[in-house]
């Protein structure tokens, strides 16, 4: 993240800033950032891309951010600029979904001595203003980012790139997910992109099977945690929705068949488009307590884009 000379403070008004989000449209990591933006009712412009093609979209940002892991083209990439200034040195940039979520929660949640008393009040801090509670939330967020995030990516890419009919993988570039030029390139060069992604993410039948086993055991563990919680609404920390729940729900959404109709921030194939073996596995996860928790989080907390949000396109509106 760059320096923050005009960083907003807790309880800040989002309308005082311009927000731009670079994303890979169907990525679960990017879904986490979108959810955070929508949860705090922040108007933003989202520039959506497809894997590999996103490197062209991100090219001008590659030297301005320094990810702790991955490539210089990592998404999501958020840029925050004071609405009253266009100067380059007052921009805040970050390209990590957890940092984006924490940044937005710290700056745009209700102040510690306030409560969200109406629909016009800022939501409460997703990390809690209590240091001990926040440590528990952050620990779970890091756990999900380590265990669920990469294994979901491997399993989803394995299914969509290797096992589904080619038309299913190609459809990720359709349904309004990206501009017309990206749709055309993705469709015609899909086999090549699949080959590159398979090698970059190191997807093999063995690694995909390991990911299935890891995810199944993690859902079983989380189900036990949720079932053993205190009376009342079942959340991961305390009795309210936190960043831990948001992280689990966004990173695990594709495992339980969440689609755009359920609130996912981009078009993704439904369970019925997958192989019977994949349908069976995802349905099994969907029925667990953890799977039902994800669906409930989408139903109760996903929300819609704030008024003033839009999709951005480049190259004369084709990209």
Give the model's pLDDT for residue 317: 80
Q: Which of 35, 15, 8 is nearest to 248 (CA)?
A: 35
- 77-82 and 92-94 strand pairing: antiparallel
Instruction: Please write down the HEC assignment for all residues of the chain.
Output: CCCCCCCCCCCCCHHHEEEEEEEECCCHHHHHHHHHHHHCCCCCEEEEECCCCHHHHCHHHCCCCCCCCCCCCCCCEEEEEECCCCCHHHCEEECCHHHHHHHHHHHHCCCCCCCCCCCCCCCCCCCCCCHHHHHHHHHHHHHHHHHHHHHHHHHHHHHHHHHCCHHHHHHHHCCCCCCHHHHHHHHHCHHHHHHHHHHHCCCCHHHHHHHHHHHHHHHHHHHHHHHCCCCCCCCCCCCCCCHHHHHHHHHHHHHCCCCHHHCCCCCCCCHHHCCHHHHHHHHHHHHCHHHHHHHHHHHHHCCCCCCCCEECCCCCCCC
pLDDT above 50 (res 284): yes
Q: Residue 63 — pLDDT band, cuts 50, 70, 90? A: very low
Give the model's pLDDT for residue 39: 95
CA distances from 179 to 29, 52, 57, 123, 315 (A): 21, 15, 12, 33, 9
- Identify whether the C-beta of residue 97 lies closer than 8 Å to the C-beta of residue 214: no
Q: In what order do the strands lie in the sheet with 92-94?
A: 92-94, 77-82, 17-24, 45-49, 310-311
Give the model's pLDDT for residue 309: 94
Handedness of CA 156, 162, 163, 167 (dihedral sign): positive
- Provide mean pLDDT across the span 4-28: 77
The pTM of this model reads 0.90
Average pLDDT of the chain?
88
Residue-wise pLDDT tens digits, 29-39:
999 999 999 99
Residue-wise pLDDT tens digits, 79-90:
999 887 655 556
pLDDT above 60 (res 166): yes
Give the model's pLDDT for residue 243: 97
Handedness of CA 154, 157, 161, 162 (dihedral sign): positive
Give the model's pLDDT for residue 1: 43
Residue-wise pLDDT tens digits, 102-129:
999 999 987 766 555 555 567 888 998 8
Q: In whole angstroms, give the CA distance from residue 153 to residue 169.
A: 14
- Identify whether the C-beta of residue 7 lies closer than 8 Å to the C-beta of residue 81: no
Q: In whole angstroms, give the CA distance from residue 100 to residue 94.
A: 7
Q: Residue 315 — pLDDT band, cuts 50, 70, 90? A: confident
Residue-wise pLDDT tens digits, 224-277:
999 987 666 689 998 899 999 999 999 999 999 999 999 999 999 999 999 999
CA distances from 142 to 197, 227, 230 (A): 25, 21, 23
Higher pLDDT, 314 or 111: 314
- The CA-based dihedral angle spanning residues 256, 302, 36, 250, taken in that order and rounded to the nearest 10 degrees: 0
Handedness of CA 276, 280, 281, 282 (dihedral sign): positive
Q: In whole angstroms, give the CA distance from residue 44 to residue 309.
A: 5
């Amino acid at each position: 993240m760059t320096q923050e000379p005009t960083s907003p403070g807790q309880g800040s008004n989002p309308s005082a800033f311009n927000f731009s989000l670079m994303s890979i449209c169907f990525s679960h990591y990017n879904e986490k950032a979108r959810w955070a933006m929508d949860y705090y009712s922040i108007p933003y412009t989202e520039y959506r891309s497809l894997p590999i093609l996103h490197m062209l979209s991100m090219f001008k940002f590659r030297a301005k951010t320094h990810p702790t892991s991955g490539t210089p083209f990592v998404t999501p990439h958020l840029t925050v600029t004071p609405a009253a200034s266009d100067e380059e040195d007052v921009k805040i940039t970050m390209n990590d979904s957890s940092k984006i979520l924490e940044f937005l929660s710290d700056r745009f949640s209700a102040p510690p001595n306030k409560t969200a008393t109406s629909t016009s009040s800022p939501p409460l801090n997703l990390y809690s203003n209590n240091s001990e509670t926040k440590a528990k939330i952050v620990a779970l967020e890091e756990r999900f980012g380590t265990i669920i995030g990469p294994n979901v990516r491997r399993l989803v890419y394995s299914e969509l790139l290797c096992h589904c009919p080619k038309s299913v993988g190609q459809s990720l570039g359709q349904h309004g997910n990206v501009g017309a030029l990206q749709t055309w390139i993705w469709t015609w060069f899909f086999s090549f992109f699949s080959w590159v992604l398979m090698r970059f993410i190191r997807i093999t039948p063995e690694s995909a099977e390991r990911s299935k086993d890891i995810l199944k055991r993690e859902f079983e563990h989380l189900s036990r945690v949720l079932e053993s919680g205190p009376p009342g609404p079942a959340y991961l920390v305390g009795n309210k929705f936190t960043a831990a729940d948001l992280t689990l729900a966004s990173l695990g959404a594709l495992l339980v068949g969440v689609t755009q109709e359920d609130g996912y921030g981009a078009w993704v194939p439904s369970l019925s488009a997958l192989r019977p073996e994949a349908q069976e596995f995802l349905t099994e996860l969907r029925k667990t307590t953890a799977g039902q928790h994800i669906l409930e989080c989408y139903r109760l907390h996903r929300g819609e884009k704030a008024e003033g949000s839009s999709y951005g396109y480049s190259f004369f509106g084709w990209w």
